[in-house]
């Protein structure tokens, strides 16, 4: 069995990857890989998120979800009742993201431009996944992780979708879906996809969920104020906007 990597990777997305019915209000797909050093994750990131939950809910069973936070739904309806409480929560959450030591590898696909440029394009998800895995490989090679097993954690989306994603993932890391002139040695490491339900209450998946939409919005509306992106920009290892 391969030695485990010093890093753990959590993945989230924003937008859908359909090319047959493109939402003209949000015609992009973003994929975000959040790479954590396991020591930092255990000792700094998880305790900070747990403390936030106990501070605002009195327990840690709540799951941070960007959509529900933004819409003040579910466990976040309290954000509608008290302006000072809402501003305090947003400030605390923003600070956690800012302080958390992790790197971001991301890809944002403009689906309209993709269909205009290519007659039979790959799925936006596969394009984004390919880019992110290539840059993840480069990151791992540069941090002395060669020969180790790297777990890449995705949130479950459904049996068929998860099986399709796992197949695409394994084809890429097996070198079956090379593109361009540069050949990447995925065999230097052992990349292992893992799928977790939202109910597992994974801190890493929850933080990854907070990153994908700001990255997508930066491409979609580059001149719009984007406080979270300003923080994420300092954590970017790589980002690719395509095409």
DSSP string, 156-207: ---HHHHHHHHHHHHHHHTTTT--SS----GGGSEEEEEEE-GGG--HHHHH
Sheet of strand 28-37, all strands in order from the earlier edge strand to the far edge: 190-196, 149-155, 7-14, 28-37, 102-110, 236-242
Q: What would the two tokens of residue 74 be?
A: 């579910």
Q: Which residue has the higher pLDDT, 2 or 157?
A: 157
* Rounded Cα–Cα distance for residues 88 and 182 (Å): 48
User: How many domains does the chain fold into?
Assistant: 1
* Rounded Cα–Cα distance for residues 70 and 79 (Å): 10
The pLDDT of residue 180 is 62
Interval 158-215: pLDDT, tens: 999 999 999 999 999 998 876 665 778 999 999 999 999 999 999 999 999 999 999 9
The strand pair at 7-14 and 149-155 is best described as parallel
Whether residue 86 is contained in a domain is answered as no
Residue 1 reports pLDDT greater than 90: no
Place of tokens 């996944």: 129
Q: Mean pLDDT, the chain, as a whole number? A: 95
Tell me the backbone φ, ψ of residue 26, rounded to 5 degrees: -145, 70
Residue 29 reports pLDDT greater than 70: yes
CATH of the domain at 166: 3.30.420
The pLDDT of residue 181 is 58
Min mean pLDDT across 91-95, 108-112, 170-174, 175-179 is at: 175-179
- Find the mean pLDDT for residues 26-36: 98
Burial 178-191 (b: 16+ CB within 10 A, else e): eeeeeebebeebbb
Contact 56, 89 (CB under 8 A): yes
Query: In the chain, what percentage of residues exceed pLDDT 90?
Result: 95
The pLDDT of residue 184 is 87
* Rounded Cα–Cα distance for residues 211 and 106 (Å): 9
The pLDDT of residue 133 is 97
Interval 59-69: pLDDT, tens: 999 999 999 99
Which domain range does residue 202 map to? Answer: 7-61+100-242
The pLDDT of residue 175 is 87
- Find the mean pLDDT for residues 60-82: 96
Whether residue 159 is contained in a domain is answered as yes
Model pTM? Answer: 0.96
Instruction: Map residue 234 onto helix, strand or coil.
Output: coil
Tell me the backbone φ, ψ of residue 187, rounded to 5 degrees: -70, -10
Whether residue 214 is contained in a domain is answered as yes
pLDDT bin (cut points 50, 70, 90) of residue 140 is very high
Residue 72 reports pLDDT greater than 70: yes
């Amino acid at each position: 069995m391969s030695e485990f990597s010093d890093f753990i990777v959590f993945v989230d997305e924003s937008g859908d990857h359909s090319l047959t019915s493109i939402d003209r209000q949000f015609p992009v797909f973003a994929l975000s890989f959040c790479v954590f050093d396991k020591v930092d994750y255990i000792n700094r990131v998880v305790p900070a998120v747990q403390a936030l939950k106990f501070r605002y809910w009195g327990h840690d069973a709540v799951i941070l979800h960007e959509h529900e936070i933004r819409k003040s739904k579910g466990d976040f309806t309290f954000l509608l009742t008290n302006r000072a409480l809402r501003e305090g929560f947003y400030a605390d959450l923003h600070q956690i993201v800012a302080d958390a030591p992790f790197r971001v590898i991301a890809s944002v696909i403009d689906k309209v431009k993709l269909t205009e440029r290519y007659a039979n394009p790959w799925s936006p998800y596969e394009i984004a996944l390919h880019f992110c895995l290539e840059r993840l490989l480069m990151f791992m090679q540069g941090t002395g992780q060669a020969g180790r097993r790297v777990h890449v954690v995705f949130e479950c989306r459904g049996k068929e979708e998860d099986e399709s994603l796992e197949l695409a993932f394994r084809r890429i890391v097996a070198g079956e879906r090379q593109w361009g002139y540069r050949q990447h040695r995925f065999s230097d490491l052992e990349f292992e996809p893992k799928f977790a339900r939202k109910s597992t209450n994974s801190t890493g998946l929850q933080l990854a969920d907070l990153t994908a939409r700001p990255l997508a919005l930066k491409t979609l509306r580059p001149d719009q104020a984007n406080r979270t992106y300003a923080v994420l920009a300092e954590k970017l290892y790589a980002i690719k906007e395509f095409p």
